[in-house]
Amino acid sequence: MTRDTLKNRMGKRRIDLRELKRDAGSRIVMLVVDGLGGYPHPDTGLSELETASLPNLDSIAGESACGLTIPIAPGITPGSGPGHMALFGYMPTRHRVGRGVMEALGIGLDLAEGDVAARGNFCVADGDGRLLDRRAGRIPSERSDELVALLDGIDVPGHKVSVHAVRDHRFVAVFHNIGPSSEATDTDPGLDGHMPLESQPVGPDSEELARAVNAFVAGSHEALKGKEAQAVALRGISSPPVLPSFPERFGLRPAAIAAYPMYRGLARLAGMDVLSTGRDFASELDTLKAVYEEAEHDFFFLHYKPADAAGEDGDFNGKVAALEALDSMLPQVLALDPDVLVIAGDHSTPAVFGGHSWHPVPLAIRSKLTKGDGAAAFTERSMASGSIGTVKAMSVMTLAMAHAGRLKKSGP
């Protein structure tokens, strides 16, 4: 029984947007502010959004349908992968992006169908192969680059394995042409002082992968003999998810504009056209303006990173400044007058937590159909009483499509 048959027999039929979509000729800009949501500072009782001076965002909130999004589920803190998958309309628990794939996307590798990526660490090991330090003293990139070159030459019979430096003790190993939907368990034991684990296949199509992984690890002992790090630990070993095509699902011709490779990679997984752009948001805006009037795309995913980066650093004032910098550039987006402007976040990154969190994330959808619904300011508290309510982030694309006039009525 296929999954679809099972679903029909269960009668658990979800809304299939492919049945409802229509081409209204309208255009959607989705600005994803990475780590958008925050949390009140203990001294002031005000969050980053409440502290910052954000005249444009506040004005957009006043003209928009507003609400909060839950990236995965209440209380669940998402990584960037599920955070973006949800905003692109994919069920984040179903369409998983492994750690190896995320690292590969993060350094701009373009994984082909059938490739499998693993995140690797260089380790210090004793004579028995026990991993004494799974980060090899955070060996700096200058010295680990040489080790990467040694691994890149390992012979794994029947397969090509390429190894790519990430930073310091981290690398990515790509097992080429293994076959789609392969996954194998980690060789990283997760704790110092333990022997590396043998990788096991996850599911029936992954035996070839596990064999290749274990052959690569065996080869690494030989290659690294007498070096500063003598072993490797691999984790997050899987092929990229095979996603239903975003263009096909939504009937949109999407363009992704993102300065950071990881977000370009996530967009490419969904089947978006990834446009070349510069290294910051100002360059992204130049790219957007250059392509907006061409008829080639009608959906534009725009990514803003600095808010998350400051939040991760625990830098409250830095995050405030990053939000204010974004705000000052928004008139360039508004000048394009897109039919629908979505401002969303992949997750919250409160500076007071110094990392991602599970808190619902502000959402504004501005269209010709919105006149504002009372959100007086672009803040977590104000959005909580917006007309959209608190919804799953997976619903954002549906709401965007509705506001774009791109959905027919469901049911008679």
Q: Which of residues 73-112 bind its own copies (CB under 8 A)?
A: 73-82, 92-94, 96-99, 102-103
Counting contacts by CB under 8 A, is residue 399 touching its own copies? yes
For its own copies, the closer CB: 279 or 409: 409
- Residues 196-235 contacting its own copies, CB under 8 A: 203
Counting contacts by CB under 8 A, is residue 373 touching its own copies? yes
**How far, in Å, CA of 246 to CA of 252, rounded?**
7
x/- letters, 330..359, toward its own copies (CB under 8 A): -----------------------x-xxxxx
Q: Which two tokens stand for residue 345?
A: 């976040």
Residues sharing a CB contact under 8 Å with residue 317, sequence separation 6 or more, in sequence order: none
Counting contacts by CB under 8 A, is residue 11 touching its own copies? yes
**How far, in Å, CA of 330 to CA of 38, rounded?**
20
Report the nearest approach of its own copies to the CB of residue 10 (Å): 6
Counting contacts by CB under 8 A, is residue 390 touching its own copies? yes
Report the nearest approach of its own copies to the CB of residue 219 (Å): 26
- Residues 19-38 contacting its own copies, CB under 8 A: 20
Do the Cβ atoms of 268 and 147 come closer than 8 Å?
Answer: no
Q: Which two tokens stand for residue 380?
A: 């977590």
Closest by CA to 388, choosing from 104, 69, 34, is 69
> What stretches of 259-333 adopt beta strand conformation (E)?
273-274, 299-304
For its own copies, the closer CB: 62 or 306: 62
Amino acid at 255: A
Measured CA distances, 199 to 86, 148, 207, 211, 322 (Å) = 30, 21, 10, 8, 42
Do the Cβ atoms of 250 and 17 come closer than 8 Å?
Answer: yes
Counting contacts by CB under 8 A, is residue 297 touching its own copies? no
Counting contacts by CB under 8 A, is residue 311 touching its own copies? no
For the chain, give the number of residues. Answer: 412
- Residues 139-198 contacting its own copies, CB under 8 A: none
For its own copies, the closer CB: 230 or 348: 348
Select from 148-156, 215-223, 316-324, 379-387 the region that touches its own copies (CB under 8 A): 379-387
